Each structure stands twice: as C-alpha cells, then as structure tokens.
Amino acid sequence: MIIDCAVYRAGVRQDTASDRASLDAVLAELGGDDFLWIGINDPTENEMTEVGGALSLHPLAIEDALKAHQRPKVEQYSHHTLISLRTVIYSDDDITTNEVNIFLGAQYLLTVRHGGRDLKDARRTADKMIEHLSHGPTAALYAVVDSIVDQYERVAAELEIDVEEVESSVFSAENTNDSSRIYRLKRETLEFRRAVMPLRDPIQRFATGSMPSESQPYFRDISDHLTRAADAIDSVDHLLDNALNAHLAQLSVRQNEDMRKLTAGATLFAVPTAIAGIYGMNFTNMPELSWRYGYPLCLLLIAGLCGYVYARFKRSGWL
C-alpha cells in the first residue's frame, strides 16, 4: 500500500494524492529540481504496476521490486536507477533483514519496502532539510540510504558488545558451554555481511561520479560509514573465530585435566588392589598368614604407599 506521497518544490513538502490520475498530473507539472517522493510498503502487483506505469519504470525493475529476495545491488536503466538495500534489525543474538528497493528518476524517488522498520524517521529528517531537498531527488535518496547505513553501524556496535560478553565467558573460571552461542553469532554475522558488503562499490561510485557534484560529499559520508560497518563485521568475525578456537582449546585442556585426575585415582586404588590380590591367593605356605601382626602391618603398608603416591601426584599437579 502507498503510505506516503508528496511533491517537493524548492525543498518544501506538499502532500498529494496517490491515484494514477493525480500522479500523472503531478509529474506533468514538475519543473526544475521539483520531484515526487512516493513510499510503498508491501505492494500488490496491481499497485506496483499502476505506480510503475505512471513513473515509466522498466518491467524487470517492477518485477524485482515485487520479489523481496534481491541481493543488495544497483542497476541502471534508461530512465531510472534501481537500488536494492537490506535493512537490519538485531535483537537477542538474532539479525533480521528486510528489503528496500529504491527507484531514482530525474524527478521522482520511489521507495518500496518489504517489512522491517519503516522509513518515517528518515523522511521526517529529510523534510527539515529544505535547502538540501531543493537539489532534487538525490537528496531524498541520501536521506533514505543514510538512515539504513547508520543502522548498520548501530547493529555492528551491538554485535561487538555481545562478542565481548562471549570472550569474557570463554576466559572465565566457570565451566561454560559457549560454542553454540559463538556459532549463532557467526551465522548472524554472515547474514549481516551479505547485507553490507555488496553495497560498498555502488556507494563508492555514487560518491565519486555517478551523482551530481553537490550530492557527492553526502555519499562520501555514507561510504565512510559503510566502510566502518564493514570493518566492524570483519573484526567481529575474526574475534569469534579466535573465541571459538580458545573455547575448543580450553575444552581440550579440561579433558586432559580430567584424564589426569582419573589416572591418579586409578593408581591410588591400584596399590591396595595389588597387595590385597597377593595376600588373597590361596597358597598353603604363606608365612605372613600366621603372623600375629601381619594384618595391621599390611594396612599400614597400604596406607603409607597410598599416601606417598597421593603426595607425588599432588606435587606434580595431577590432583
């Protein structure tokens, strides 16, 4: 459904109707740097076809906008540019991505959103930048893309906080099982990477020549933010690899410690078992069997040997 439709003349917003006849009339009256900004959320095929017909959008671009499974990309058509972006939401170790398709024409900007966070804040912010919007639809494009990329940085910061928690847990004295959370964070980081990395080259092109000269500094700013988000993703991924390796190494060390304790315990029991086994043999000529002090002496021998073995294991750190 069309959730917002307005004309910007000299950067000042003027609301307008969104039916086909009104769109055709508004587009016919636009001049100079005036432009039309339309926002659509989860459009039906009929809605997208009607708006696309009014704006003379390419049929393949309309098809891409209807199917919310596009890789982040920028495609140039004869009369407009299609920019596909991914919005990102992070909560409870889970990253959710949704799609926003943006059509940039000479005198219009069309945003087609499929779920996720709305773009009302970006539009309200842009509406206050009258001088900036007076430069045309590229200013509105900057406002939308900038709000999405800023969210990338916020998500990257939250991911870094969670990675620090994982590192603290891995290197704590407690016996924790962090492998499942590390794997989940790595999987979400991969999803985040798929949203961010494909945009770096197109945004860089916007910043260096594909946009009007007055808009290029703004897209250079977006490019810098996007680079910081990409660097944070690489850093998070690297730290998660290190945390997983450290966790597996600690599991191996703990297993070795458990095996040493089990070995030391088995050795302690082996000493009395060997002595008891010897004197448990049914031979006739065993002089100690008739000795009055043989039993207490045998117990003292067992206790002494066990104490000696225990002391040696304790000194070596096996117990």
Comparison of pLDDT for 256 and 103, the residue scoring more = 103
Task: State pLDDT tens for residues 40-54.
Answer: 998 888 888 888 888
Same domain, 115 and 217: yes
Q: Has residue 155 got a pLDDT over 90?
A: yes
Is residue 21 domain-shared with residue 60, that is, in the same domain? yes
- Round to whole Å and give the CA distance between 231 and 247: 24
219 in the same domain as 102? yes
pLDDT of residue 119 exceeding 80, the answer is yes
Residues 133, 275, single domain; the answer is no
Instruction: Give the pair of three-digit tokens for residue 116.
Output: 């996720």
> By mean pLDDT, which of 113-122, 219-228, 232-241, 258-267 is the weakest?
258-267
The residue-averaged pLDDT of 165-187 equals 84
CATH number at residue 272: 1.20.58.340
Are 46 and 174 contained in the same domain?
A: yes
Q: Are residues 178 and 285 in the same domain?
A: no
Residue 129: CB atoms within 10 Å:
15
The answer to whether residues 92 and 235 belong to one domain is yes
What are the φ/ψ torsions at residue 171 (nearest 5 degrees)? -95, 15
What is the domain range of residue 119?
2-250
SS3 label, residue 152? helix
What pLDDT does residue 20 have?
Answer: 83
Q: State whether 204 and 288 are in the same domain.
A: no
Whether residues 158 and 233 share a domain: the answer is: yes
Task: Average the pLDDT over 238-251 and give the result.
Answer: 86
Contacts of 230 (CB under 8 A, 6+ apart): 196, 197, 200
pLDDT of res. 112: 93
For residues 103 and 51, membership in a common domain is answered with yes
Residue that is last in its domain, among 250, 276, 299: 250
pLDDT digit string, tens, across residues 253-309 = 777 777 888 888 788 788 888 877 777 776 667 776 777 777 788 888 888 888 888
Q: How many domains does the chain have?
A: 2
**Mean pLDDT, the chain, as a whole number?**
86
Instruction: Give the CATH number for residue 214.
Output: 3.30.460.20
* pTM over the 0.85 mark: no
